[in-house]
Amino acid sequence: MQFSAKVSDISKQRSACAIISADAKNRLSSSGAALDKATGEIIGKVLKRGDLGSKLGSTLTLNLVEGPAERVLLVRSDEGVLSQADFRKLAKASANVAKGFKDATSYLTELEVADADSAWQAQQLVLAAGLAAYKFTRCLSDAKGNPLAKFTVHAPDSKQLKAVQRGVDIGAAQALGSNVARELGNLPGNICNPTYLAAEARTLAKKHATLTTTVLDDKKMASLGMGAFLSVAKGSDEPPALIAMHYQGGKSKGGKATDKPVVLVGKGITFDSGGISIKPGLQMDEMKFDMCGAASVFGVMHALLELQPAINVVGLVAAAENMPSGRASKPGDIVTSMSGKTIEILNTDAEGRLVLCDTLTYAAKFKPSIVIDVATLTGACVIALGNHATGLYANDDELAKELLAAGERTGDRAWHMPLWDEYQSSLDSNFADLQNIGGREAGSVTAACFLSRFAEDYTWAHLDIAGSAWNSGANKGATGRPVPLLMEYLLGK
């Protein structure tokens, strides 16, 4: 899909769809007024008739007989300055209609948005368009993707064109990364397994000079003492993989990065049956989404390769399948992690923290500036926050503030949860250094506390995306979150 910025005269700009706004009093933006004049005031007459709904984000498509645009898409705005949240509603509403046309030009950058410039507006418009255009077709025998192939954002004037184009580029990269994550998340477990993810990472590295990939197999993990990680994988016939993708855009010397990297760690349980602590059958198909943390790391790597920022990032993917078998871990088993800490496994369905704890220990070898893990970790986080916000935990308040701010700027929001010492005692075990679950209370918090035991040597944050990573019901599918949040954070480094 092609995205671009252009200072365009709407009365001359050819497009399958020109997107303009009308406020609560039916007043058009400047480009909308110009188009109305060029088409004999057809748009104004339709507005006076009341065909466009009064609710913010209502849309109406008009087929034009005259003028360079084949049709105009009217979007209901509001009077005065819009909030950023309201502007994102307009961006999403217009994109959901525009995806049905071969190309579109948006003039919504003419709206005034609180604490935002036209570059930010362009970023939001392109992100919305890119997300709307995605459609999963790989496993459908007769399916076509959405036709939208070109999306242009109007720059208010030539002085702003460069900044608007930068906003377009960032939004396009965020959309690309989100859609990569969605595609991997939506693939079924019989296709997208640890071996598949490892192959995808190797292929990506072959295409890009700034990326290298290494993959640790079960033998290498065993030699490193990753007993927690391997305890999850041993119940499955699918071999595990610890995938490391190194994006090197920052300073280097002799081919080695000198800038300390940000390390992203993604939970990649490609199917989670729960193991011996088997899950209920209802909606178990959605456990293919238990690798959405890993998918988001892949998405970020794709977005970084698209933008080529001057930073160093390592993406670690802890990939395994959690299945019940005669070899599977049993409740009460005790394993030794790479850190040397012993863990009593009370629930084999609390497996994500077991693959993550060894991967967090492994992350220290990269001498990171920051480590952020991303995981569909707990159902308790869904109960606490629903699907609107990602649960955010951190051992550093400044890091937490930066991630929260990145989420606010993109609309990919998170909420700062407590990581207090008072919760740690729930992980005490009579038989090992710690157990892999606490009690019924504060399940998302105690899961984060577990991970914190393995992230004591560096600045760390944990994103619990169990509620935000996918949708259920009629719109079932991966969302691509938190790729926009992570990219916004990384680009601010």
Contact 156, 30 (CB under 8 A): no
Residues in CB range of 117: below 8 A, 6 or more apart: 160, 163
353's tokens: 């923290």
Residues 130, 112: Cα–Cα separation, whole Å: 23
Q: How many angstroms separate the Cα of 118 from the Cα of each of 125, 132, 199, 480?
A: 10, 21, 40, 25
In DSSP terms, 113 is beta-bridged to 82
Residues 20, 28: Cα–Cα separation, whole Å: 8
Radius of gyration of the chain measured on its C-alpha atoms:
24
- 345 SS3 class: strand
Provide the residue type at 46 as one letter. V
Residues 5, 284: Cα–Cα separation, whole Å: 44
Residue holding tokens 């255009």?
133
DSSP 281: S
Residues 428, 438: Cα–Cα separation, whole Å: 8
What is the length of the chain? Answer: 493
105's tokens: 């030009």
Provide the residue type at 363 as one letter. A
- 459 SS3 class: coil
Active-site hit among 71, 150, 202, 279: 279
Is 279 part of the annotated catalytic residue set?
yes
157-192 b/e with 16+ CB inside 10 Å = b?
eeebeebbbebbbbbbbbbbbbbbbbbbbbbebeeb
Stated as kind and residue range, the H or E segment containing 63 is strand 59-63
Q: Which residues are catalytic?
A: 279, 353
